[in-house]
Amino acid sequence: VGTLGEADLKGKKVFVRADLNVPLDDAQKITDDTRIRASVPTIKFLLEKGAKVILASHLGRPKGVTPKFSLKPLVPRLSELLGIDVVMANDCIGEEVEKLAAALPDGGVLLLENVRFYKEEEKNDPEFAKKLASVADLYVNDAFGTAHRAHASTEGVTKFLRPSVAGFLMQKELDYLVGAVANPKKPFAAIVGGSKVSSKIGVIESLLAKVDILILGGGMIFTFYKAQGLAVGKSLVEEDKLELATSLIETAKAKGVKLLLPIDVVVADKFAADAESKVVPASAIPDGWMGLDVGPDAIKTFSEALDTCKTIIWNGPMGVFEFEKFAAGTDVSTNLMLCHVSSLRFCHCCLVQFVFPQAIAKQLAELTAKGVTTIIGGGDSVAAVEKAGLADKMSHISTGGGASLELLEGKPLPGVLALDEA
């Protein structure tokens, strides 16, 4: 894709599509500003070059104009990070936007209202894309998190603005999720979690062609155990994916990939916060008990395997159930304290939420410092690394959930293809 080079940007109106889809609480307060911060380098670069930035994004999945999905709450944080007063439009197209864009000084930023307030955005309507484009001279796509959507502001608009190039965030995401994965320093390991085999088939199949070691965690492991003839008690199993699990194990063998499943697991006697829990070998899950997470010996074997690697990618949660769901009605902090202090008995909550993700995050941070390339791909794995306070210690943390997953599956992203064509 084309990139932001040394083009003369002075006085140019640049339409920047960012992914400012950040979580807001009930009081419309931003609860995680990562995506805003990740968009800043491109915007700052353009401002320093004397360009006028017309910034667009979606937020949430509104059906029509919905005040709670307005981008207005983002203005103070954006202004603070950029060190200028960001002007906000009440719409993303139309007369007011045209006037505000025309009045924008060099080095000024105009934030447009949520592009998804128009159904034409998701329909990739060419007329709508043309209207978005009409106020600008060129296009920069920095919205990696939305690059898997062929929408008017990510794809359609490139037909009307030349050049259309990638911003710095988009470039960095592609460098790591495509570049580092296609040409990894070896040995290359992937840690893939998730509750269902079905949602990770694409990623596992694609990674099996590239990695030396594949570590599996999350609820899907019980489908793999059952496929290997182990008893899994009441654990979550996708019965219709048993054959698939067997064939993935065989593919790994045929390709010489070391496939690591946890050798021990945490099991509970019921799905409740006051459940009894214990650690058992993966081959000895008692009848009537359900597996919830990987056990401490598994963590040790995973950790030993990771220690030998030069490139590591981690995608997806390793615990089986959402912590909040499982711990409903309990005092979370007490639970964590108890397990942590006693550490004699591994509480399932402690392991799911704390021990495993934190242990992995810590090890990856240490390996990064030794020159290992570490890539955290989207969603819960990113949350675990952030919770451990180690986000800036990894080589790359992806800002895309669905987009990074599709990229790892080897699917082309429409937002990136459009830049290629442009």
Binding region for ATP: 200, 322, 378-381
Nearer to ligand 3PG, 148 or 210 (CB): 148
Q: Any catalytic annotation for residue 162?
A: no
The binding track of 357-396 with respect to ligand 3PG, each residue x by CB under 6 A or -, is: ----------------------------------------
CB of 149 to ligand 3PG, least distance (A): 5
Nearer to ligand 3PG, 126 or 401 (CB): 401
Q: Any catalytic annotation for residue 44?
A: no
CB of 28 to ligand 3PG, least distance (A): 18
Task: Give the annotated binding-site residues for substrate.
Answer: 19-21, 58-61
CA 45/CA 23 separation, integer angstroms? 26
Q: Point out the catalytic residue in the list 12, 77, 130, 196.
A: 196
Binding residue (CB under 6 A) for ligand 3PG from 149, 200, 226, 393: 149
Stretch that binds ligand 3PG, among 43-51, 77-85, 141-149, 153-161 (CB under 6 A): 141-149
Nearer to ligand 3PG, 150 or 280 (CB): 150
- Show Cβ contacts of residue 375 under 8 Å, excluding neighbours closer than 6 positions: 176, 177, 180, 181, 311, 312, 313, 314, 394, 395, 396, 398
CB of 384 to ligand 3PG, least distance (A): 17
Q: Any catalytic annotation for residue 196?
A: yes
- Show Cβ contacts of residue 260 under 8 Å, excluding neighbours closer than 6 positions: 213, 214, 215, 216, 301, 302, 305
Nearer to ligand 3PG, 150 or 336 (CB): 150
Q: Point out the catalytic residue in the list 35, 49, 131, 234.
A: 35
Site for ligand 3PG in 391-420 (CB under 6 A): 401-402
Nearer to ligand 3PG, 10 or 61 (CB): 61
Binding residue (CB under 6 A) for ligand 3PG from 114, 146, 153, 171: 146
Stretch that binds ligand 3PG, among 142-150, 175-183, 305-313, 343-351 (CB under 6 A): 142-150
CA 104/CA 260 separation, integer angstroms? 56
Stretch that binds ligand 3PG, among 103-111, 145-153, 203-211, 331-339 (CB under 6 A): 145-153
- Interface size with ligand 3PG, residues (CB under 6 A): 8
Q: Point out the catalytic residue in the list 2, 50, 107, 402.
A: 402
Q: Any catalytic annotation for residue 379?
A: yes
Site for ligand 3PG in 4-33 (CB under 6 A): 19, 21
113 counts as binding ligand 3PG under rule CB under 6 A: no
Query: Nearest 5°: phi and psi at 190?
Result: -120, 140
Residue nearest to ligand 3PG (CB): 21
The two tokens of residue 144 are 């990696």
Q: Are 102 and 95 in contact (CB under 8 A)?
A: no
Nearer to ligand 3PG, 149 or 393 (CB): 149
CB of 385 to ligand 3PG, least distance (A): 17
Q: Point out the catalytic residue in the list 167, 377, 379, 415.
A: 379
What residue type is 41 in one-letter code? P
Nearer to ligand 3PG, 22 or 285 (CB): 22
Stretch that binds ligand 3PG, among 82-90, 143-151, 254-262, 308-316 (CB under 6 A): 143-151
Task: Provide the binding-site residues for ligand 3PG, judged by CB under 6 A.
Answer: 19, 21, 61, 145-146, 149, 401-402
The residues assigned a catalytic role are 35, 196, 379, 402
